[in-house]
Structure 1
């Protein structure tokens, strides 16, 4: 009997030791509010990284990767808490879509993908269920994150336009030109005394009013007029180099442009841009407009639509009601009428045929007579006009994506900081 009791006592001590030892292996590494992050969670995250997309290398600092993953898991825990508050759930359809996209990316069927996941298991460390749970977790985080950041991030047309102009300016630094210049050097000898600035200014006035740049350039080159002015021709030089060698104030706008007088330590210069090489840029006008639209239909002929729009126009001109009233209650463009008829920035080509030309003759805040386009009959009000590079519309989406990516990252960092500030976080 005593031997039997001793046996069970030894067995109990052994299992107790094994249990305590196993608990020590899966210790708590961090506490986030009422959640705990275990060492096994960190190990699984490392395993997912190795298994999926990233070739994980051993970091220079032994604990660097572990620290990074703990911080990531803390952030995940905070976002998942927010998702729980907003009752965010992942549906089976969403999960199936992820599987289909992943299978397609790996050129596998759904069943082959499942077998692929199972075949990657290492000593049952990551099970198929773990894989599914991880997908659900990541998708929940993405849904919550997208919802929150969508509220915070807005990209305005003005921001896109400003960045576009900055990009164009940067590109212009590399633009190459053929140019000629007339210059008056700084003489060291006191024996030569004259007012150089007055002389070059008079020359510039003569170029603008009486003679051309080419006239003076050719005569100075042949020394027919004066020996104190010098001339030079430069082929294929970049704006960056011109600014470096002469003046940072120089800019190239168009071929045939005359610039000056430009003063530096070597002398005073007048430049002419003969050719802008590979100049594909084209400046176009854009118009910010509102409109009231009457659209012909099955029940409204084109003649009736025309009569109706002219009646509206005459009522506005007679002050029977305002243009804004006509937009709100009479316009057939339901979408824009909710925005006071605002069509944003458009180019002349937005309206087909002759109608678009009317934009060039409208004054700001004035309304046009009724004009016809492929959409119907319009009364147009011009709010503003601007000149832009013709590539603007082509690059708008790329710039918007760049700004969006930058702002999303910035707002995400701000949001996570806000969550951390109101949470209890302890790294053990």
Structure 2
């Protein structure tokens, strides 16, 4: 049985007992059912209160509590579906992997985990609860990546075509800071429902052109995945945007409102919040080598980390050869036979944990063991250089741009399909 269902059952028992002896006191309640799981009022309240706190700090006006509640429940439904899928897939984020992520987060903020904990508690939040929330975020990211990646295919011809476009744009290609509102349409919508959705979209555009705050309208009206963030998609080049957006936004100026744009999901409204030129003259490239050890039923997380810790000590003491250790122990088939070596590469193509660790090293320095989604690593920085982008680096960049565009599109489609196949029952407010 789902843990939250057990919790809900326990609360019901408490309530029944209280009915016998005294006036019942409501501790928490179930506001919705998602397959075998439940959504609790306390979870909804946590999200709503966080959005309110952030809005107060930014001096931002928010829509009604009912609207915030609907958006919070939608986010929790999506999260619950992904966590259920993670459980079926056997995907679990270990404590050591979670600690590694928190250490990276604290380091990026210029502090330690202790500093991060003090900051969380000073804001009135529970650090253990925050820690579990980060675990859920990592889990949902990995579930999404594992299920969406396999839906994406990028051909050599697509890369060649994009390279030609990038070359024609030159080094001053523009990037757009995009705000997004989606007025959704059910997959089986009638002609009247489609017309009604279009009318609502046009009304939203009218409000925006009158100067109403975009973020507030996005929170209250949008069905997009970033609704609670005020519909903020951030900076993107034309090549990174979904195709529908790219064609419509190109050439528009700051503060332009674009739309409504029709897709299978509904009507999209885009605000060009800012535009900037992108200049890439040179890039940092690194040459490195690493050893990857994957935890398993036989080899625990701790033993994998300790094994690499021992390797790192022997290498620093001159008692072992990196290449030989990589050939014998590394589980990265792409580099093990080459002594763990990677040729000159733009580090941005690596996963964040690997990139950040690599860039923190001095030449020939060997890292401490660290965790990525692939397993435990130690890495040695062999050399670093600043150079013009090579043809291979350009192709890597083009591939990543195409991947980002398709990932956004396929991620939305996948989540929509998962939602349509699920049993979701949201209870009305009393």
TM (norm. structure 1) is 0.40
Larger Rg: 1
TM (norm. structure 2) is 0.40
